[in-house]
Chain A
Amino acid sequence: MENKTICLVDDEDVFHWIVRENLKKMEGAYDFISFYNGDEILEYLSESGNTIPDILLLDLNMPICGGWKFLDSFKEMSPEFKNGITIYIVSSSIDPKDQDRANEYSEVSAFVSKPITRDFLERILGSSLSEIN
């Protein structure tokens, strides 16, 4: 069985390191890829041959192309493609307006406020695994 691929889109280096380190400490092996803004991930997804991530952790507030802008582009993609990716918004925002806006996207599975815990990572990895099995 192939390793699950987890993808992080966030403009802060420190958060990339945090997520990577936490994944390392978990049982099982996961592939981890990361990007600094929406444009970068969109470009990655559009290139053929790249591994499509199973889980996408998306920040909202990023320069050039933030989380919302990415979602607007992602929405237009084919359903089979979209269905393969589970998206979680991971933001430091605790603004209920952002929560509400996230609910409007069927592509978003959940809105999670930072900091993210290892518990959370285990839970999402588990659920996505069980879905696959």
Chain B
Amino acid sequence: MEKALTRSSFERLSIDQRLRMALSAARMSLWELDLTNKTCSWSGRPMNHFFEFSRKIDGSLHKYFELIHPDDVKDVMSAVKNAKIGQVFFNQHRVLWNDNTYHWVESNGRTINSQGRIKMAGTIQDITERKILEKETADWKIRHQLVTDAAGIIVYDYDIESGDILWSGNVEEVLGFTSKQMGNIDTWTDLIHPDDRKDTFRQLEKAQKKLSTFEVYYRFLKSNSEYCDIYDRGTFLEREGKAYRMLGMMSDVTEWRKSREALNESESRFKSLIDKLKVGVSLYDLKMEPQMHNEAACKLLGLTRKQFIGKAALDKDWNVVDMDGNRMKPENFPIPQAIARQEAVRQVVMGVFRPKLNDRVWLMVDADPIFNSEGGINHVICTYSDFSDRKRVEEMLKEKNEQLVITSDLISRKNERLLEFAQIVSHNLRSPLTNIAALVDLYKNGSSKDRDKAVEFIGDVTTKALRTVDDLNEVLKVQQSEQVDIKLLDFEEVLQKVRELLKLNLVEKNAKILADFFEAPSIQYPEIYLESIFLNLLSNSVKYIGDGKTPAIAIRSRMEGNDIVLEFSDNGLGLDLGKYGDDIFRFGKTFHNTGESKGIGLYLIKNQIRTMGDQIEVESKVNEGTTFRIFFRNQPYGK
């Protein structure tokens, strides 16, 4: 490195020394080529010369040419060949440096005749940095042009004082005019649509005053006499506090505006269509938040548009039940299901509680995932239709069906009893009739004494037969009175009523009744049936007490799940159930010779109990007593 020199020391140097220093600072060298003996030389000592390669050169022209870039050899060669005395030459070429990179050098000089030898002499300078800058500038210009061309952008530079505009970019492509035709500010003003001029200039002047950027839209006349929509964006350059240039870009946005308008139109048409649908429609994103929803959806779900926003599908506040009335978990709602299963979920019936209306609406819900081109889900579209009417009809049908089942059950029970009744009639009426037939036969063949006796017996048997018919009528009455009113009855009250009816018998036998209806005090049942049960069981207990005993009867009601169990226990004669079994409830069956037996009471109450779909059981030990248990089904109100 050379030391910086003070002015005074510089003046003390020789002219030659000064010149060399100046050349070195300018990265320049003096250069001479002797065309006669084909040698070249450079000024200055090699050590402070900036051409590093020169140290390797033996001075021959041939050696120099080996260092020149192959692409430039031809140029340099022709320059040397065509050199004429007195002519000026100029050449740029690349030379291989010691670091194996090519450097651009520029040589200027003149061909001269010096003492009979033809020489080229001049300066040679390293211009590599300049070359790089030049290339970059050129590249940038190309890129700029490419961008403006591609974007259909026109770039302008408007000189406010002169009114001239420098046009660049894609002027011809966009407007059909050449840059020249576009001319100055007056032409530009003329080409703006007359209706837009005032507004455009007002906005531009405002920006100019503030020296700020601007954005304006205006219609602009093209060379084909059609107007296009221009978006113009730019800024002002300031000098001494005043705008002196306006730089900006114009782009044709006609197509964009049209498609935007078309999109808006189709969107608004779509929206009004969706809004007019009676079916509720909502669009949910993958976070299960609603993106869009129509009027009907709001109405059906009982939400305002505002409430709908942010009311995610999984919101805890949804109070939803399924078909059977069970609370639905949010993860089982159609939207999360459609996302989880990656498929449409259809016809899910949901009973949605609407807090605003304080009611429950039945909705049939479909959730359809919307897939993107990669097969993933973008959205879920959800449709709701009012299912309340259908649900009501369905419930009615269900109820009707249940009634039918009950009715058919009733009918089959009725049939069973009719068959049984027919058997009873045939058996119990056949018996007296066979007797009458035998008595008539004896009458025909008998003595007068026998005849009197036969007639007497015929009278007896007929009376008995009529009594049987009366009993059967009583049974029929029970079977026909299926439409009896079911009332809420108090066991205690019914017992009191029956005690009154049996007062004479009870007092006569000094009967003790212990009643406990604490656990199940009341029952939904036909009054005449319950009275009949109490009456028959109580009177049986008194009737079949056995000689010398005092009747002690315990009556108790209790709950067994939803059933009421009524228990009657006595300390009477009892029965050998191993022998009689179910006969105890059969018509006309008597088991004790008390003379009071008709064999109808238990048959009657069993019939009544079965008519109601309930059950009676019996447990007994001879001479110890009998316990009847009646199971009244589905009496949840007994408590």
Contact = CB atoms under 8 A, between A and B. Distances in A.
Contacts of B597: 63
B497 interface: no
B593 A64 contact: yes
Interface in B200-252: none
A123 to B, nearest CB: 16
Q: Which bracket fits the contact residues of A?
A: 20 to 34
Q: Which bracket fits the contact residues of B?
A: 20 to 34
Interface string B445-483: 110001001000100110000000000000000000000
Contacts, number: 61
Nearest to B442: A21
A117 B460 CA distance: 21
A72 B591 CA distance: 17
Contact of B427 (A37, A92, A117): A92
Given A21-B446, A115-B434, A115-B438, A37 B460 contact: no
B579 A14 contact: no
A105 interface: no
A13 B592 CA distance: 17
Nearest to A63: B590
A122 interface: no
Given A22-B442, A115-B434, A61 B423 contact: no
A64 B430 CA distance: 22
B430 A14 contact: no
Interface string A44-69: 00000000000000000101100001
Contacts of B453: 17
A114 B592 contact: no
Contacts of B506: none
A110 to B, nearest CB: 17
Contact of A115 (B437, B446, B457): B437
Nearest to A25: B445
A61 B591 contact: no
A12 B590 CA distance: 13
18 contacts: A13-B460, A17-B453, A17-B457, A18-B435, A18-B438, A21-B442, A63-B593, A69-B579, A93-B427, A93-B430, A94-B426, A94-B427, A95-B423, A114-B435, A114-B438, A115-B434, A115-B438, A118-B441
Interface of A: 12-15, 17-18, 21-22, 25, 36-37, 61, 63-64, 69, 72, 92-95, 113-118
The 5 closest A-B pairs by CB, nearest first: A92-B431, A114-B434, A115-B434, A63-B590, A115-B438
